[in-house]
Amino acid sequence: MFGLFKKEEFMIVAPVEGELIPLAEVADGVFSEKIMGDGFAVIPANGEVCAPLSGTAETVFPTGHAVGIKTRDGIECIVHIGLDTVELDGEGFHPLIKQGDKVKVGEPMVRFEKEALEQKGYKLTTMVVFPSGYDHQFDLGKKKVTSGERLV
């Protein structure tokens, strides 16, 4: 009974299975130069993206390519799927959540048609950046990760 009000432990997990890489290796200066904030990226092995942390979906882009999450403690996180994927105007992206939804760490948020989008020439590297509220240097190296694997 007393465990009902226990605060959830803060953690950041890999949003998708694949190859974890530093933001500096992302082929887009907005991310590689950390203009939007520090974080990490994963080159996905599949087409399902989960929440890298728990919070509220403050923004779910109508195109489905990006989600903004804010934690109860004010940490802001952006999950951006792919490079230049906003050009697709939602084609191949299927959001599983909507703006205002509460999301739990590891919960699926977006599915995307990986093979079809790659055939169109899109790189689907998925970036996780923290524009405010989380002052942490991400030095996670390069390695294979599974979706929901704890990174921080």
pLDDT reading at 132 higher than 50: yes
pTM of the model: 0.94
Whether residue 148 is contained in a domain is answered as: no
Would you state the torsion angle of the CA atoms of residues 96, 24, 131, 65, taken in this order, to the nearest 10 degrees? -20
| Residue labelled with tokens 């990760």 | 145
pLDDT reading at 4 higher than 60: no
User: What CATH number should be reported for the domain holding residue 129?
Assistant: 2.70.70.10
Whether residue 28 is contained in a domain is answered as: yes
The active-site residue out of 65, 80, 94, 136 is: 80
pLDDT reading at 34 higher than 50: yes
| Residue labelled with tokens 């489905």 | 64
Whether residue 86 is contained in a domain is answered as: yes
27: containing domain = 13-135
pLDDT (tens digit per residue) in 8-32? 789 999 999 999 999 999 999 999 9
Work out how many domains the chain is built from and give that number. Answer: 1
Our answer to whether residue 80 is catalytic in this structure is yes
Whether residue 8 is contained in a domain is answered as: no
Report the first-to-last Cα separation within the chain, whole angstroms.
29
Residue type, 138: F
Residue type, 2: F
